[in-house]
Amino acid sequence: MKVIAIIFCSLLCISTSTFANTPGEIEVGSYLKEVTLNGFSGKSKKLSVFRGKPLIINVWASWCGPCREEMGSLERLARRFNGKQLNIIGISTDDDASAALGFINDTKLSFANYLDHNLILENMLGANTIPLTILVDAQGRVVKKVRGSKEWDSPESLKLIEQSLWIKLK
């Protein structure tokens, strides 16, 4: 019995530390801070340009297997809805910008992706695990954080998006 208690406590410590807050993390219910997004083509954008429509932010890295696994479903979601009822962007946490750009080009992603410099976005969004997808309402308020790989164009995920962002995807 003592061994089981030790294992349980160890697992509890691991699971709580895995999802500990990052420095400056924006919690669910709070508004995103204004930051500059650094595009791979050299163009920068302010995060606030995405206000007015719900936003899906996916935090990923080219070396992350689960990130790569879900990217196809994000691309299909983007082809159906990006720029219409919502916006979708990706934030790469790659240290090597050329690896991230190579992945974007190889997978022919149509939605905008940005490179996180100096861990600013990673910390603000709470991406101590990836993939991380953040659902943001039209006013810039974080309404949901989804950790781990997901099939984003599945009926279940579409329902989650609709319910979280108070929209009807057509």
Q: Phi/psi at 113 (nearest 5 deg)? A: -130, 145
pLDDT at 18 exceeding the cut of 80:
no
Residue 25 lies in a domain: no
Residue 69 lies in a domain: yes
Give the residue numbers spanning the domain of 88.
31-165
* Residue 74 structure tokens: 């994000």
pTM of the model: 0.87
* Residue 48 structure tokens: 């606030």
Residue 78 lies in a domain: yes
Arithmetic mean of pLDDT over the chain: 89
If we measure between CA atoms, which residue out of 124, 59, 53 comes closest to residue 90? 59
Residue 90 lies in a domain: yes
pLDDT at 1 exceeding the cut of 50:
no
Task: Give tens-digit pLDDT for 93-134.
Answer: 999 999 999 999 999 999 999 999 888 999 999 999 999 999
Residue 8 lies in a domain: no
Percent of the chain with pLDDT over 90: 82
If we measure between CA atoms, which residue out of 80, 82, 156 comes closest to residue 113? 82
Residue 20 lies in a domain: no
- The count of structural domains within the chain is 1
Residue 54 lies in a domain: yes
Residue 12 lies in a domain: no
Rg (CA), the chain: 17
CATH of the domain at 123: 3.40.30.10
Average pLDDT over residues 150-162: 98
